[in-house]
Amino acid sequence: MSGDIKPNIHQLGKHLKILLLAVLFACTLRNIGISIVDLGLPSFIIELEGSLISYGIVIGIYSIMQSIFQFPIAAASDKFGRRIIVLIAMSIYIIGTFLCFFAQTIRQLIIFRAIQGIGAYTSILQAIIGDIFKKEQHGKGMAYYSLSLNIGYFSGIILGGYISSYLGFRHIFSISGSLILLSSIFLLIVFKNNQMENQNSENTNLGSENNKTLKREKIFKLLKNSEVNITIFLNATRWFIFGGVVAYLIWVLQNYYGIDEITSSYILIIIVAFYVGFVILSSKVLDKQGPKKMMLIGQSITICFGFFFFFNFSKDFIVFVILTIAIGVGLALYDPAGSTLLLDVIVEIDPNLKGTGIGFNNAIGFFFGAIGPIVICWLGEYNVFFPFYSIFFLISLTFVITLTFVKDKYKHR
């Protein structure tokens, strides 16, 4: 097969192409399920006599559990192999999702969402993609990953309003669980070997290394690296903003502007369409421009349009939607760039620690994503636009950090 590979171009074999498709399919269906739940959850909370704060907790507890279990599960995939660990984690996620369908009280829903969150398998999917692509194509791999997530979320928005309105809010969980079950079966069939079947020269010994205990000093070296920690902080801040604002935006549309679930889904379709479009644009230029430049561009756009939320005219519904779209565009450019930067730094240290590094990043990210809805919904109780003020200041902080501390040496040639 090596004779078919052109210099500096990584051509995937048939099995790796099918495996990549299965992983992206799993990412897509997971996010379809997430957005279906997001659209119907406000009605579910109100039916269970909950409040905006309990709404934030129901969303947040899921991400808190994801943050707690993301790192150990991803690190276990480095040690025991991707296949067995990802299937175990997906099974837990499926069980928790179906339990949410039967919740009769807010307390039960919180407990079942916590069980759902324990199944933290996204880092393993991301690590598999990192295994498949060589370092100089990490931008391409992470763009595929981000695109699959956003296409899934976009599709779920289309379905979510109708499912909640016509089938009932409980079915947001039954359908979500069914989709994850379908993706796990596909992955089970395609991912035949427990150890990653990788063609990359940088990971030639990955299979044998996974059978050994990872050396503690390598993991400590990774987690103590300043570039890794800076990148993780930048990614986590984006998680905080994205996780909090998406949840809050749905509540604002339905309860501040008085828009029904189906109409809310149409509005979110427009917003997410712009987001996905600019993720695609970012994927086309990321490997050429480098992650630092793309992060700065995305942050600049978010800052410029976020500034307008300080003026009263931003409360006009049309203006509000336009500003939200613009902020989404900025975050879209920021999204795959952060993941690419992290992968580049990890590979410089030890390519066999991609699962560990990504898992640690996602653990921190899910924690920030968990407190995002809680904090932002709490701020929204005082003033509907306080959350958007916080976005402006947070992105301004990430811009300064990116400009000052992120190095250009990881820019792809």
206 located within any domain: no
276 located within any domain: yes
Identify the sign of the CA torsion 224, 230, 232, 233: positive
Domain of 254, CATH number, reads 1.20.1250.20
C-alpha triplet 302, 308, 309: angle, nearest 5°:
90
Tell me the pLDDT tens digit for each residue of 6-37: 334 456 667 778 888 888 889 888 888 887 88
Q: What are phi and psi of 191, to 5 degrees?
A: -85, 85
Which of 97, 61, 114 shows the shortest CA–CA distance to 370? Answer: 61
**Count of domains observed in the chain:** 1
Provide the b/e sequence for 145-179 (b: ≥16 CB within 10 Å): bbbbbbbbbbbbbbbbbebbbeeebbbbbbbbbbb
Residue 272 has pLDDT above 70, yes or no: yes
Tell me the pLDDT tens digit for each residue of 89-135: 999 999 999 999 998 888 999 999 999 999 988 888 888 887 887 76
205 located within any domain: no
**Residue 136 confidence (pLDDT):** 65
Residue 203 has pLDDT above 50, yes or no: no
CA 15 vs. chain centroid, Å, equals 26
Question: If pLDDT is split at 50, 70 and 90, which confidence band does 359 have?
Answer: confident
Strands (E), 4-106: none
Which residues are CB-neighbours of 138 under 8 A, at least 6 positions away? 130, 287, 340, 343, 344, 347, 412
Distance, in Å, from the CA atom of 190 to the CA atom of 349, rounded to the nearest integer, reads 30
209 located within any domain: no
388 located within any domain: yes
201 located within any domain: no
Domain that holds residue 126: 7-195+214-405
**Residue 11 confidence (pLDDT):** 65
- pLDDT, mean of residues 221-242: 83
What does the block give as tokens for 395?
Answer: 């992105």
- pLDDT, mean of residues 272-290: 80
410 located within any domain: no
411 located within any domain: no
